[in-house]
Amino acid sequence: MKKQKESQCTQKTISLLSPLGTIQVSGCENGVHTIQILMDVAPAERSSEAPLSCVVNDSPAETSPELQRCVEWLQAYFSEPQTTGSLPFPAFHHPALQGGAFTSRVLHVLLRDVKLGETVSYKRLAEMAGNPRAVRAVGGAMRRNPVPLLIPCHRVISSSGQSGPYMSGKGNHLKQWLLTHERQRGKG
């Protein structure tokens, strides 16, 4: 199997402070590469009094328009999630989101079809992506999502209605927080 050569990018990283803790957004002039939720805030420290804002903590002097667009989208998501639908979406520049591979298809279907405040089962998402028998592959696609929050893998739940794992099971409390945030704050 040939390894695909990644184009040479000059990546920059912006660090944001959010109700989830620190979020790092990396990208180049072509688009967003990754979003990492660092989980540096213990769940007990998160409370209803926590500010629902997302502020830049550390940023390079110059950022690409795509990174800036991503920051603006994340800031809106945490403060007024119902407004994100009217904001321009940043471009993606990560191999997992390019081409016609199943992972890419699943992630794009999730982004396009599962709206704020909604959830979808792994099984239903497999059907929506054109392969009803690929339920486990959908789970794999969620694990490989390089841009959580933008592509809302937290909205994918088990057929029983249980929330299912998030960030390989380490971020289950974050998934619950995000789903509750969207239900409570997403009403416009």
Same domain, 98 and 168: yes
Domain of 45, in residue numbers: 10-84
User: pLDDT, tens digit, for every residue of 132-188?
Assistant: 999 999 999 999 999 999 999 999 999 999 988 898 888 898 999 899 999 887 665
Our CA dihedral for 70, 76, 81, 84, rounded to 10 degrees, sits at -50
Burial label, 3 (beta-carbon count in 10 A; 0-12, 13-18, 19+): exposed
User: pLDDT, tens digit, for every residue of 87-123?
Assistant: 999 999 999 998 889 999 999 999 999 999 999 999 9
Annotated catalytic residues are 153
Same domain, 80 and 114: no
Tokens of 141: 């696609």
DSSP, res 25: E
- Asked if the structure places residue 66 within a domain, the reply is yes
Last residue of a domain, which of 20, 55, 84?
84
pTM (two decimals): 0.88
Same domain, 110 and 78: no
Tokens of 163: 């929330």
Q: At what angle do helices 102-113 and 135-143 cross, to 10 degrees?
A: 80
Tally of domains in the chain: 2
